[in-house]
Amino acid sequence: MDAFLNQVFAGLATGGIYASVALALVMIYQATHLVNFAQGEIAMFSTYIAWTLIEAGVPYWPAFFLTVAIAFTLGVLIERIIVRPVEQAPVLSVVVVFIGLLVIFNSLAGWIYTYTIKVFPSPFPKQPVQFGGHSFSAHELGAVGVTLVVLGLLYAFFRYTPLGLAMRAAAQNPESSRLVGIRVGWMLALGWGLAAAIGAIAGMMVAPTVYLDPNMMAGILLYAFAAALVGGVDNPGGAVLGGFIVGVLENLLGTYVIGNELKLSVALVLIISVLVIRPSGLFGKVHVSRV
Site residues for other proteins, 25-64, by CB under 8 A, read: 35
Query: Binding of other proteins at residue 268 (CB under 8 A)?
Result: yes
Alpha-carbon distance of 167 to 193, in angstroms, equals 12
Alpha-carbon distance of 271 to 248, in angstroms, equals 13
Q: How far is the CB of 207 from other proteins (least distance, A)?
A: 11
**Interface with other proteins (CB under 8 A), residue from 222, 237, 282, 283:** 222
Query: Binding of other proteins at residue 172 (CB under 8 A)?
Result: no
Alpha-carbon distance of 227 to 271, in angstroms, equals 9
C-beta closer to other proteins: residue 173 or 215: 215
**Interface with other proteins (CB under 8 A), residue from 86, 149, 163, 257:** 86
Q: How far is the CB of 180 from other proteins (least distance, A)?
A: 27
Residues β-bridged to residue 109: none
Is the separation of the CB atoms in 40 and 21 below 8 Å?
yes
**Interface with other proteins (CB under 8 A), residue from 200, 225, 238, 249:** 225
Within residues 94-153, the interface with other proteins by CB under 8 A covers: 94-97, 99-104, 106-108, 110-111, 114-119, 128, 135, 137
Q: Nearest 5°: phi and psi at 137?
A: -70, 130
Query: Binding of other proteins at residue 257 (CB under 8 A)?
Result: no
**Strand, coil or helix: 125:** coil
DSSP 245-275: HHHHHHHHIIIIIS-TTTHHHHHHHHHHHHH
256 alpha-carbon distance from chain centroid: 28
C-beta closer to other proteins: residue 31 or 226: 226
C-beta closer to other proteins: residue 37 or 60: 37
Q: How far is the CB of 58 from other proteins (least distance, A)?
A: 21
Query: Binding of other proteins at residue 14 (CB under 8 A)?
Result: yes
Binding segment toward other proteins, per CB under 8 A, in 89-97, 147-155, 157-165, 189-197: 89-97
Of 251, 229, 257, 253, the residue nearest 241 (C-alpha) = 229
